[in-house]
Amino acid sequence: MQPHILIVEDEAAIREMLQIPLNKAGFILEEAPDVYQAKTMIFNRIPQLILLDWMLPDTSGIEFARQLKKDSKTQEIPIIILTARGEEQDKIRGLEVGADDYVTKPFSPRELIARIKAVMRRVSTHSEKLLVKELQLDSIEHRVMVGTQEVQMGPTEFRLLQFFMQHPERVYSRDQLLDQVWGANVYIEERTIDVHIRRLRKALTPHGYERLVQTVRGVGYRFSEHK
Ligand code: CA
């Protein structure tokens, strides 16, 4: 699976300049011209890295980085700040909010790719791997494996499974799952959860792990190794 990189940058020329070189380097580049669109894209699919421009039309890159690092669903995503500012003070501010690196414009695609690879190597050494029996979820590579076989699932099922694996042996109501997995300010009907639970079970069925996702009648769901 190729790593997805999200670039949040209002200058189309910079986004376009990076498409082909990043593709050739083995990455899939997703583009957002502002924070508003970036949020939607991140909600649909967690990227493996974010290239974040400092000066954006809606929210500043620094402010957005701070928000991403506060949210448990996005805090693990490495961030490289892109900026025209070269002052030491700005660099320090960028790193203080939790950015992993800082690249000053103008930069060459080659230079940026080297920095991306360096950051990814660094984070993969402390990548979060969750393991239950042979089922392994890697939050950095955004991948679920059973042995050497990849388990295919959608982004919502992935987040649901990640939450379950982080909190096994506990019963969660649909309402609690909504808050924890979808976020408290997202409006989704409770029965939507049942749909995603069904899809998650279906994804796990070929590997024999569908029974880990258990229905607790009248209460909600539980992720458990035990019956
Ligand atoms: Ca800009």
What is the three-state SS of 144-175? EEECCEECCCCHHHHHHHHHHHHCCCCEEEHH
pLDDT at 227: 73
pLDDT at 131: 86
Question: Which CATH superfamily hosts domain 4-124?
Answer: Response regulator (3.40.50.2300)
Cα–ligand 1 centroid distance for 149 (angstroms): 41
Q: What are the tokens at 39?
A: 């949020």
Domain residue spans of the chain? 4-124, 129-223
Cα–ligand 1 centroid distance for 151 (angstroms): 38
Cα–ligand 1 centroid distance for 60 (angstroms): 9
pLDDT at 173: 94
**Tens digit of pLDDT for each residue in 119-157?**
887 776 555 778 888 899 988 778 999 988 999 999 899
Burial of 69 (0-12, 13-18, 19+ CB in 10 A): middle
Q: What are the tokens at 69?
A: 């690092």
- Measured from the Cβ of residue 15, the count of other Cβ atoms closer than 10 Å reads 19
Cα–ligand 1 centroid distance for 40 (angstroms): 19
pLDDT at 167: 86
Residues contacting 169, CB < 8 A, separation 6+: 222, 223, 224, 225, 226
**Tens digit of pLDDT for each residue in 158-205?**
999 999 998 888 999 998 998 888 876 677 888 899 999 999 999 999
pLDDT at 1: 60
pLDDT at 182: 83
Cα of first residue to Cα of last residue in the chain, in angstroms, is 33
Q: Cα separation of 3 and 28, whole Å?
A: 6
Instruction: Looking at the structure, give the CATH architecture of the domain made up of residues 129-223.
Output: Orthogonal Bundle (1.10)
Assess whether pLDDT exceeds 80 at residue 89.
no
pLDDT at 88: 72
- Which uninterrupted H or E stretch holds 67? helix 61-70
Cα–ligand 1 centroid distance for 129 (angstroms): 35
Cα–ligand 1 centroid distance for 47 (angstroms): 20
Domains 4-124 and 129-223 share a fold: no
pLDDT at 201: 97
pLDDT at 121: 78
Cα–ligand 1 centroid distance for 118 (angstroms): 24
Cα–ligand 1 centroid distance for 120 (angstroms): 24
Q: Choose among 99, 97, 102: nearest CA to 115.
A: 102
Cα–ligand 1 centroid distance for 66 (angstroms): 17
Cα–ligand 1 centroid distance for 185 (angstroms): 28
Cα–ligand 1 centroid distance for 96 (angstroms): 20
- Confidence at 93, pLDDT banded by 50, 70, 90: confident
Least confident of 40-44, 123-127, 141-145, 221-225: 123-127
- Confidence at 86, pLDDT banded by 50, 70, 90: low
| H helical segments located in 85-154 | 88-96, 109-124
